[in-house]
């Protein structure tokens, strides 16, 4: 039995996700779909109790209205499945039809002297509030005010038809103030929602602009962001993220990272931490050797003679234990790479 209910639940949610709330819906329409679901579920319960003749809930005038409501709901849902209108209109049409029925019943009960009109009218006012709250939840905007005004006008008409009903007359102003507060709250929430929606569209446009400048799509841009996150991804993750990028952006990224890493490790402080035995002058020469500069270029940059630069290079070789025929730059890169590897760090082993 439990498995049967589980299978039924799974089938229901499969149908719900496939037809009523597919992945193509935005977040707003998903909220409206949930509101439509709970509204429909509530109506099914109320209509079932009414048709079964439950005492205190069932009234004969409501039977025909219930049948019309069932037919209308099925028709609207079928039209939505056929994509004849969006979710917002589906919810609006259903709420509007329910509210029309509520107004009709309020006026009917005011004229039906064989019933207790006060209790019946108050019940329908509760249903009217129910409709108004669902219009707020469904982000229907000014339709909340329309439902509220219609409800107040119907309430005023009922008071005119029942001038001797003290409870209904005195409750009107309380109901009026409550609706004013509810509509103010609903409009503020709708305004905030529209502002967030506008901001979201602006951010999406900004993302598209940045992605177009980088020459990537949104998915590839997310890969770039993940590469730059604080939590260092694994080498396999880095390879998969880089593979998502087109060739040109990937080459630009690698060149930019390599250039930054070289500049970062080619300063005097970094070289001093890696080679503490070198003098400041030797560190300066070492820095430019690592960047591939020749003796004449280093001499011009440091404003020193080529003999002094050559002497510093010789001292660097001696302190590093290098032979005279070893390529100084390659050996320095190899030593730096080994020491950084011991620290769990990487070094851009590039000769550019």
pLDDT digits (tens, 9 = 90+) for 59-100: 556 667 777 777 888 888 788 777 787 888 888 888 888 888
Question: Could you tell me how far CA 349 lies from the centroid of its own chain?
Answer: 41
Cα torsion for 53, 55, 56, 59, to the nearest 10°? 30
On whether both 169 and 59 belong to a single domain, the answer is yes
Task: For residue 348, tell me if it sits in a domain.
Answer: no
- What tokens appear for 346 in the block? 């990487």
Task: For residue 210, tell me if it sits in a domain.
Answer: no
Task: For residue 155, tell me if it sits in a domain.
Answer: yes
Tell me: the pLDDT tens digits for 204-224?
A: 888 778 777 766 666 766 666
Instruction: Please give the pLDDT value at position 3.
Output: 60
Q: Which residues contact 145 (CB under 8 A, 6 or more apart)?
A: 183, 187
Number of H helices and number of E strands within the chain?
Answer: 15, 0
On whether both 68 and 32 belong to a single domain, the answer is yes
Region 113-136: mean pLDDT is: 80
Cα distance between residue 53 and residue 47, in whole Å: 10
- What tokens appear for 184 in the block? 């103010």
Task: For residue 250, tell me if it sits in a domain.
Answer: no
Put simply, whether the predicted model's pTM sits higher than 0.85 gets the answer no
Region 7-12: mean pLDDT is: 53
- What tokens appear for 154 in the block? 């119907």
On whether both 182 and 313 belong to a single domain, the answer is no
Lowest mean pLDDT among 137-146, 162-171, 254-263: 254-263
Instruction: Please give the pLDDT value at position 149.
Output: 92
CATH number of the domain residue 293 falls in: 1.10.10.10
Residue of 94 and 252 predicted with greater confidence = 94
pLDDT over 70 (residue 115): no
On whether both 68 and 98 belong to a single domain, the answer is yes
Residue of 180 and 55 predicted with greater confidence = 180
Residue of 159 and 229 predicted with greater confidence = 159
Per the structure, how many domains does the chain have? 3
Residue of 255 and 293 predicted with greater confidence = 293
On whether both 232 and 273 belong to a single domain, the answer is no
On whether both 20 and 90 belong to a single domain, the answer is yes
- What tokens appear for 83 in the block? 């994509």
H or E element in which residue 93 lies: helix 87-111
Instruction: Please give the pLDDT value at position 22.
Output: 56
Instruction: Please give the pLDDT value at position 127.
Output: 83
Q: Which residues contact 223 (CB under 8 A, 6 or more apart)?
A: 241, 242, 244, 245
Hey, which of 15-29, 172-186, 215-229, 315-329 has the most confident mean pLDDT? 172-186
Cα distance between residue 265 and residue 247, in whole Å: 27
- The answer to whether residues 328 and 316 touch, using CB atoms and an 8 Å cutoff, is yes
Cα distance between residue 224 and residue 222, in whole Å: 5
Residue of 53 and 151 predicted with greater confidence = 151
Cα distance between residue 261 and residue 259, in whole Å: 6
Tell me: the pLDDT tens digits for 269-303?
A: 777 777 788 888 888 888 888 877 888 888 888 88
Region 18-43: mean pLDDT is: 70
On whether both 106 and 177 belong to a single domain, the answer is yes
- The answer to whether residues 249 and 214 touch, using CB atoms and an 8 Å cutoff, is yes
CA 222 vs CA 35, 45, 113, 246, 260: distances in Å: 33, 46, 68, 13, 21
In 3D, which of 210, 30, 65 has the Cα closest to residue 137?
30
Instruction: Please give the pLDDT value at position 153.
Output: 92
Q: Which domain holds residue 311?
A: 256-342
Q: What is the pLDDT of the chain when averaged over all its residues?
A: 76
Task: For residue 131, tell me if it sits in a domain.
Answer: yes
On whether both 24 and 75 belong to a single domain, the answer is yes
pLDDT over 80 (residue 43): no
On whether both 184 and 284 belong to a single domain, the answer is no
On whether both 175 and 315 belong to a single domain, the answer is no
Hey, which of 41-55, 74-88, 120-134 has the most confident mean pLDDT? 120-134
Tell me: the pLDDT tens digits for 306-352?
A: 889 899 898 888 888 888 778 888 888 777 766 656 554 554 444 44
Q: With bands split at pLDDT 50, 70 and 90, how would you rate the model's confidence at 10?
A: low
Cα distance between residue 304 and residue 314, in whole Å: 15
- The answer to whether residues 127 and 100 touch, using CB atoms and an 8 Å cutoff, is no
Q: Domain ends where: 146, 175, 205?
A: 205
């Amino acid at each position: 039995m439990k498995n049967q209910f589980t299978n039924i639940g799974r089938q229901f949610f499969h149908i719900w996700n496939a037809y009523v709330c597919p992945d193509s819906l935005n977040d707003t329409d998903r909220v409206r779909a949930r509101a439509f679901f709970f509204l429909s579920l509530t109506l099914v319960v109320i209509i079932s109790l009414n048709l079964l003749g439950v005492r205190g809930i069932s009234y004969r005038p409501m039977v025909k209205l219930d049948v019309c409501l069932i037919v209308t709901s099925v028709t609207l849902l079928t039209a939505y499945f056929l994509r004849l209108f969006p979710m917002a209109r589906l919810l609006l049409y259903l709420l509007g039809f329910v509210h029309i029925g509520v107004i009709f019943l309020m006026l009917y009960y005011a004229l039906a002297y064989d019933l207790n009109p006060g209790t019946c009218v108050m019940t329908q006012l509760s249903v009217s509030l129910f409709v108004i709250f669902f219009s707020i939840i469904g982000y229907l905007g000014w339709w909340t005010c329309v439902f509220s005004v219609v409800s107040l006008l119907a309430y005023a008409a009922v008071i005119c038809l029942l001038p001797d009903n003290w409870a209904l007359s005195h409750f009107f102003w309380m109901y009026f103030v409550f609706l004013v507060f509810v509509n103010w709250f609903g409009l503020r929430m709708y305004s905030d929602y529209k502002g967030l929606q506008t901001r979201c569209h602006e951010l999406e446009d900004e993302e598209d602009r940045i992605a177009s400048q980088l020459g990537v799509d949104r998915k590839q841009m997310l890969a770039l962001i993940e590469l730059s996150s604080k939590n260092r991804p694994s080498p396999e993750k880095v390879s998969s993220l880089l593979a998502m990028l087109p060739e040109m952006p990937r080459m630009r990224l690698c060149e930019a990272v390599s250039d930054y890493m070289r500049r970062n490790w080619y300063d005097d402080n970094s070289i001093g931490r890696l080679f503490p035995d070198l003098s400041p002058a030797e560190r300066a020469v070492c820095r430019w050797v690592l960047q591939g500069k020749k003796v004449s270029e280093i001499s011009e940059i440091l404003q020193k003679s080529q003999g002094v630069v050559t002497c510093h290079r010789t001292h660097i070789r001696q302190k590093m234990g290098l032979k005279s025929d070893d390529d100084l730059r390659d050996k320095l890169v190899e030593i730096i790479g080994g020491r950084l590897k011991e620290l769990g760090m990487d070094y851009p082993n590039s000769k550019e």
